[in-house]
Structures are given as structure tokens and as C-alpha cells.
Copies of this chain bind each other. A is one copy, B any other.
């Protein structure tokens, strides 16, 4: 218990001491994850939409596949990409391993199935009349899609936030692909892994709290921006 209190105090201290090393790690974390999310979201939402509105053979299997991919440990995704990006692998010449770009690739691979799976479930809950009304009023496919997205924005926001949570907090792929190199690819989760492997639990929890505070800010902002999210009449 003392350890928890100790950790909380440390977290506060870390946050407000303006420790440059900490902020660098925080910066890398958010830069990588936000970029990955930004890249993954548009195609994922589009695919989710196709899966919700299309009616082609194999549709259900694809949906099941994407929710299955959520059960694959992040380290396995990391490993697979490692083997591809490694010098031995097919994309070895690109020299991506142990860079932030490799981490971004890894996090895209992690965010994508979650965005598709939960995004699909949000989009399929939409009223089909929304799409039909938009189309019959002359909206282009794109505009109709954007309209639907706005109609189910709460569900999609949940998908985006869950995916963000998944990648900002994951350690397996970032560790494999980034290598946890100080000043380069050390983000909060890999830093936490390092601290805990040293037995520095308080430091680990403190870093976790820093992440929590940052994520809370983001979440509250987005939720506020998004609206009410309770069942309307």
C-alpha cells in the first residue's frame, strides 16, 4: 500500500518537475500512437462500412476474422512484423527495424482490426434509412458515408478510443519493433516494462499514472466534443 502511495507521489512529482527525459518518452508515445491511429482509421472505417452495408459472400467470415485478430498477442504481431522487417526478411533493405516508423507500422497493425471490428458493430447499428435518405437526397457516396459516420459518431468514437487505448498501452510490438532504445524508441509502456523488470515498481506505476492523466485529458476532451451518448428518443 505504501508502495502505491509512494508511486502516486512520484507520478505527481514526475509530471510537474518538468523532467525532460519523461516528456521525451511521453512525446514519443503519443507521436507514434496518434500517427498510427490517424493512418489506420480512414481505411478501417471504410472497410467497417463495407462490411456493415455490403451483402457479399464471406462478409460474416471477415467480420469474425477481424475480431479473432484481437486475440493475437501484440508480441506475436510484433514478432511477425519483425521477421518481415528484419534484415533477413523481405523488407530488410528498408532498414526500418528499431525505428519509430517500425513502431508505427506495428501499431497500425494492432489498431486496424479493433477499428474494423468495433467500428463495424457501431455502423451496423445505424438505421439503414439514414443511408437511403442521404442518397435519395442526392448525396454522393462519400457524403452519405460521412453522414452515417456522424450519425453513429458515438459508437465510432468508442472504437477509436479503444484502439487508441490498445496501442498507447501495448508493449509487445513496440518492444520488438522499436527495441526500447532510449531517446529513440522508448515509449511509456516499454519504459514501464523496463522499470518493472528492474523491480522499480513505484517508478513503473508512476509512469502508468502519467499515461493515465494524459489519456484522461484526451478522452474527456473527445467525449465532451462528441456529445451526450445516451439513448435519445
Binding site for B on A (CB under 8 A): 1-4, 7, 51-55, 59-61, 63-65, 67-76, 79-80, 82-84, 88-90, 114, 117-118, 120-129, 131, 152, 154-155, 157-159, 161-162, 164-166, 168-172, 176, 188-189, 192-193, 196, 201, 204-205, 207-208, 211-212, 215-216, 219-220, 222-224, 228-233
From known contacts A73-B192, A120-B158, infer whether A67 and B230 are also in contact, taking CB-CB under 8 Å: no
Query: Do the beta carbons of A231 and B128 come within 8 Å of each other?
Result: yes
Min CB gap A21→B, angstroms: 18
Q: How far is the CA of A219 from the CA of B114 in the complex (A)?
A: 14
Chain A interface SS verdict (over half): helix
Indicate how many identical chains form the complex.
Answer: 2
- A205 with B76: in contact, given A67-B161, A155-B121, A211-B71 (CB under 8 Å)? yes
- Of the candidates B71, B82, B164, B189, which one forms a contact with A169 in the assembled complex, judged by CB atoms under 8 Å apart? B71
